[in-house]
Amino acid sequence: MIDITYVQAILIGLLQGVTELFPISSLGHSVLVPAWIGGDWAQLVTQYGTEDSSQSPYLSFIVALHVATAIALLAFFWRDWVNIIKAFFTTIKNRSIETSTERLAWLIIVATIPVGITGLLFEHAVRVLFAKPFAAAAFLTLNGFILFAGEWLRRRADSRATVEAATMTATEVAETELDHPVVGGTNRKLENLSFLEAGVIGLFQTAALLAGISRSGITMVGGLVRGLSHEDAAKFSFLLATPVIFAAGLLKMPALFGPAGANIHGQVVVGAIVAGLASWFSVKFLTKYFTTRTLIPFAVYCLVFGAISLVHFA
C-alpha cells in the first residue's frame, strides 16, 4: 500500500473541498485526477477501487476529508441547523408540524432515508465495481447531461406556467400556486415540498454513490424539477448533504486508527484543514452564485472533462 504524501494531502484536500459542493462530483474527481497524473497518484486510485480497499490509506484519507466538508457545512449553516434541530424536537413534543422550519426538519429526514439505506447496503460494492477511471469518466459525462436536463425541464415548466398564468384570473393563479411547482415565473417555496417529493429528491442522492455523479448536482436538479429556485434548490442540496456526508465519514472513521491510517495521521490533519476551508469558501460562493446563475457552466465542464477522460482512459 502506498501512503499519502503531504503534497498529495494538500492538493487532494483542495480538490475534495471544491468538488464536493460544486455540482461536478468529488468522488469522480478523486478517481480521475490522480489517474490523469499517473505514477503513485494512479496507484492510490487502484487501491481505492479494490475489494481490500478498507486497508487503503487513500480511502481512509478521503473519509477524513468528507468529515471536514461536513463540519464546514455545519459551520456555514449553523443558524439554520440550530433552528432545524429545535424544530424537530418541538414536533416530537407537540406531535404536530406547524411551522415552515418544522416541516423543513422532516423534509430533510425523509430525504435522507433513501441514500442512508442504499449507502449502507451497496456503497462498497458500487465502489469496487465503478471507482475506475473509465467508469468515472462515463458517469461524469452523464452528470453533465443530467445538469442540462434539469435546466431544460425547469425552463420548459417556467414557459408553460407563464402561458397558463396569462389566461388565468388573479384568483385562479393564487389557487393554482398551491398545487403547481411554478406559476407565472414565481418560484415554489422550499417548505411547500411534499414529503413524497422530498423522498424522491433523496432517492436521487443515491446516484452519487457512482463516481462521477454529483450529489449536490443531482439533488439540485430534483429540486429544480419540482419548481424550487436555483437558490433554494442549492440550499436544500447543501442541507441534505450535511448529515449524509457526516454520517458516512463517521461510520468509516475507525479505519483511520487502524493499519490503513497508521502512517498518515499528519497528512490527514493537513488535508482535512485544507478541505474544510475549501468547502467553506465553496459553499459561500455557491450560495451567492445560485441567486442569479444556473447549472449550465458546470454541465459544460462535466461534458468536456468527462469526454476527454473517456477518450484518454478507453
The answer to whether residue 183 scores a pLDDT higher than 50 is no
Share of the chain above pLDDT 90, in %: 55
Residues contacting 230, CB < 8 A, separation 6+: 220, 224, 290, 291, 293, 294, 295
Average pLDDT over residues 74-101: 95
How far apart are alpha carbons 114 and 106 in whole angstroms? 14
Binned at pLDDT 50, 70 and 90, residue 46 comes out as low
Tens of pLDDT, residue by residue over 270-288, are 999 999 999 999 999 999 9
Sign of CA dihedral 280, 281, 287, 290: negative
For range 165-181, the mean pLDDT: 56
The HSE-up count of residue 128 (CA atoms within 13 Å, CB side) is 9
Assess whether pLDDT exceeds 80 at residue 131: no
Average pLDDT over residues 193-198: 92
Q: At 309, which amino acid appears? A: S
| Residue 1: band (very low, low, confident or very high) from pLDDT cuts 50, 70, 90 | low
What pLDDT was estimated at residue 262?
A: 72
Using alpha carbons, list the distances in angstroms from residue 305 to 9, 20, 21: 23, 16, 18
Please write the tens of the pLDDT for every residue from 149-166: 999 998 887 777 677 667
User: How many of the other CB atoms lie within 10 Å of CB of 231?
Assistant: 18
pLDDT tier, 122 (very low <50, low <70, confident <90, very high otherwise): confident
Whether the per-residue pLDDT at 227 is higher than 50: the answer is: yes
Between CA 275 and CA 290 the distance in angstroms is 22
The average confidence (pLDDT) of the chain is 85
φ, ψ of residue 258 in degrees (nearest 5): -105, -165
Task: Give the pLDDT band of residue 118 (cuts 50, 70, 90).
Answer: confident
pLDDT band at 169 (very low <50, low <70, confident <90, very high): low
pTM: 0.87
Q: What is residue 185's predicted lDDT score, i.e. its pLDDT?
A: 42
62-66, 163-167, 264-268, range with the lowest pLDDT: 163-167
pLDDT higher than threshold 90 for residue 304: yes
Q: What is the mean pLDDT of residues 113-123?
A: 82
| Average pLDDT of the residues in 164-179 | 58
Say yes or no to pLDDT of 173 above 60.
Answer: no
Q: What is the mean pLDDT of residues 246-257?
A: 77
Q: What are the strands, taking DSSP E only, across the chain?
A: none
